[in-house]
């Protein structure tokens, strides 16, 4: 399972800082979302659906075949901005161990990126629904 885009949080912070305003940052998120690999059709099912999101979101996580203990995350949405938010989550969480995932403060990351300030309440709720799903997967594998 690929965890594209290969983007670190530091690179994401730098890009957001360079872009400056929310409109450009939002366009960048949308572009990141277009680069996400597609889920296999069999993964688009109720078992993988993230509930609480305004849009449809499906998320799967698997152990990384080449990195012991790391979890690879793959997700897609039917909304282009949400796919960009998924790219942020992949930069935050994919390729990390369960312990590393659970140690990340999502409020700090989203605050640093300005997402909590710019996203609607429904989008924030959906974003945190995805975070909770990832954290639940990490807890189960820890």
Per-residue model confidence as pLDDT tens digits over 41-99: 999 999 999 988 789 999 998 877 676 788 999 999 999 999 999 999 999 999 999 99
Given this model, what pLDDT does residue 4 score?
Answer: 42
Q: Residue 33: which pLDDT band, with cuts at 50, 70 and 90?
A: very high
pTM of the model: 0.90
Among residues 12, 32, 39, 53, which one is catalytic? Answer: 53
What is the distance in angstroms between the CA of the first residue and the CA of the last residue of the chain?
20
Sheet holding 70-77, edge to edge: 57-63, 70-77, 96-97
Give residue limits of the domains in the chain. 9-141
CATH 3.40.50.300 fits 9-141, yes or no: no
Of residues 72 and 142, more confidently modeled: 72
Q: Is 45 one of the annotated active-site residues of the chain?
A: no
Per-residue model confidence as pLDDT tens digits over 117-139: 898 888 888 999 999 999 999 99
């Amino acid at each position: 399972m690929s965890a594209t885009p290969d983007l670190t949080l530091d690179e994401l912070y730098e890009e957001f800082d360079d872009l400056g305003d929310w409109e450009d940052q939002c366009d960048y998120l949308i572009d990141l979302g277009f680069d996400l690999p597609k889920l296999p059709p069999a993964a688009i099912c109720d078992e993988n659906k993230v509930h609480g999101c305004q849009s449809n979101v499906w998320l799967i996580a698997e152990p990384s075949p080449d990195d012991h203990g790391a979890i690879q995350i793959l997700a897609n949405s039917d909304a282009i901005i949400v796919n960009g938010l998924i790219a942020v989550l992949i930069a935050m969480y994919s390729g990390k161990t369960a312990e590393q995932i659970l140690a990340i403060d999502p409020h700090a990351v989203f605050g640093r990126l300005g997402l909590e300030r710019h996203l609607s309440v429904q989008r924030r709720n959906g974003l945190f629904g995805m975070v909770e799903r990832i954290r639940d997967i990490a807890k189960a594998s820890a």
